[in-house]
Amino acid sequence: MNKVRLLKHYILTKYGRKFHSRHEIENYQNKKIKKHLDFIVEKSPFYRSLYLEYETELKTNHWRKLPIIDKAMMMEQFDLFNTVGIKKEEALNLAFSAEKTRDFSPKINNISIGLSSGTSGNRGLFLVSDKESEMWAGTVLAKLLPGSLLNTHRIAFFLRANNNLYSSTENGKITFHYFDLLDDFQSHKTRLQDIQPTIMIGPPSMLRKIAEWQAEHQLHISPTKIISVAEVLEDIDKKFIEAVFKQQLHQVYQCTEGFLATTCKHGTLHINEDLVAIQKEYLDRERGIFVPIITDFTRITQPIIRYRLNDILIERKTPCPCGSQFLALERIDGRSDDLFYGERYGEKEKKVLFPDFIRRAVMLASEHILEYKVIQKELNLIEVKIKVEQKNHEQEVKERIRMELIKLWKSFHLIEPTISFSDYNILPSDKKLKRIESRL
């Protein structure tokens, strides 16, 4: 690991890049993207071919008019897409081997290979060079570490799969401890107790389980910072974890396609616009609900340019008290394949119900709900899994949830769905937890 490069990007991110207006951010992005595109068009056969008819846009740096791509296109064209000549079959073989052996250290020509978990049913590969890994590490440390890089940090990181990208953050003062989500709970408890992490990073479903152990005195740890990753962070989990550890829960929005957003000291999620440019494809402009189209101008091994994600984001309407000019989000709402639908009376038209509508209806129903999951199994068939504080409240809570969901459907003049209930029996695992899930 090149520690000089890591330190350089740590300093640049933490102290060097200051933006006082949206205009400054956009100028910075435009300059970076112009230089980035010149390199990518030369090195990536896929982009060179894709942009053959966009010579004017490239020359004038009207990059926002370039064609949009997605994960399916990237995976289909993987051999031509990347800039280092790695073949999809070779990369997949290495990634699947790592999944089986749980040894994630092998590389191809100093390129780390990662495999996304495929929440949307379409698994993805990501490639990261050693240089990009060092840049990423310096940037992440600058945005996430409390205090100075010179302080001692013991980081406990819960992941479905380890990767060289994550372990690149280690140095003399920072020790990184990878927890495999496939390991048993007792192993996690023992290691956490021994390590006494100062920073804990993991999916909210796992962080909640750790908070339960702490509340039940099965565990005694005192992390100074806790960061949620990988899954949608629901308010019900956020409040519980914060109450147990008596601190603000932070969040990182990162996926195969990039390091997209982090929370500020006020807990607001801000897009990392010093790394990526975001365009909004609105699903509901009035409510600020959009799908992001991202351009990452820092990644060259696997270029991400005008790439449509499958996530649903909600923009924040009011300025964040931290003063950052970076785009602020109210929340990550879910994925576009987890939209619910209702059927209008006497019409074939379907009405979209955003995950946040379902989430709010459930949480409005009762303060006794500990955990829940709502599944749309068929157009007019909804299953609700719930766990309540006391068994004697359960029937009342079910009826209130039913009433709130029916009220939601009625407010949009939709045919009332059949709503069934079952016990909440979901444990943290290597599968991402989705509290709002469509199976249509």
8 Å CB contact between 168 and 146: no
Task: Kindly provide the residue ranges of all beta strands, DSSP E only, lying in 218-368, ordered along the sequence.
Answer: 225-228, 249-255, 258-263, 269-271, 276-284, 289-296, 304-308, 311-315, 328-335, 340-343, 350-353
**Which of 300, 318, 336 lies at the terminal end of a domain, its last residue?**
336
Q: How far apart are CA 286 and CA 42, in angstroms?
A: 41
Is the domain of 260 the same as that of 386? no
354 shares a domain with 287: no
* pLDDT of 168 higher than 50: no
Tally of structural domains, the chain = 2
Contact, 233 vs 207, CB < 8 A? Answer: no
| Per-residue confidence (pLDDT) for residue 126, from 0 to 100 | 87
Domain check: are 353 and 312 in the same one? Answer: no
Instruction: Provide the CATH number for the domain around residue 56.
Output: 3.40.50.12780
Residues 73 and 112 in one domain: yes
Q: 360 with 307, same domain?
A: no
> What tokens appear for 264 in the block?
């500020």
- Ranking 39-53, 71-85, 174-188, 378-392 by mean pLDDT, the lowest is 174-188
Residues 365 and 406 in one domain: yes
Domain-terminating residue out of 336, 365, 381:
336
User: Average pLDDT for residues 203-232, to the nearest whole number?
Assistant: 95
* Token pair listed for 36: 């980035």
Per-residue confidence (pLDDT) for residue 148, from 0 to 100: 80
pTM for the structure as a whole: 0.87
Q: Identify the domain boundary among 310, 336, 362.
A: 336
> Residue 324 above 60 pLDDT?
yes
Residues of the domain holding 257: 3-336
Residue 120 has pLDDT above 60, yes or no: no
Instruction: Verify that 240 and 118 share a domain, yes or no.
Output: yes
Clarify whether residues 364 and 428 are in a common domain: yes
My answer on whether 145 and 119 are in the same domain is yes
At 162, the pLDDT band (50, 70, 90 cuts) reads low
CA distance 219 to 210: 8
265 and 381 assigned to the same domain: no
pLDDT per residue as tens digits for the range 126-160: 898 989 888 888 898 899 988 887 888 999 998 76
Main-chain phi, psi angles of 76, to 5 degrees: -65, -35
* pLDDT, tens only, 279-320: 999 999 999 999 999 999 999 999 999 999 999 999 999 999
Q: What percent of the chain has pLDDT over 90?
A: 65
**Better-predicted residue by pLDDT, 100 or 194:** 194
Using the structure block, give the residue that is written with the tokens 């009625």.
410
325 and 431 in a single domain? The answer is no
Residues 316 and 378 in one domain: no
Q: What's the pLDDT tens digit per position in 46-58?
A: 999 999 999 999 9
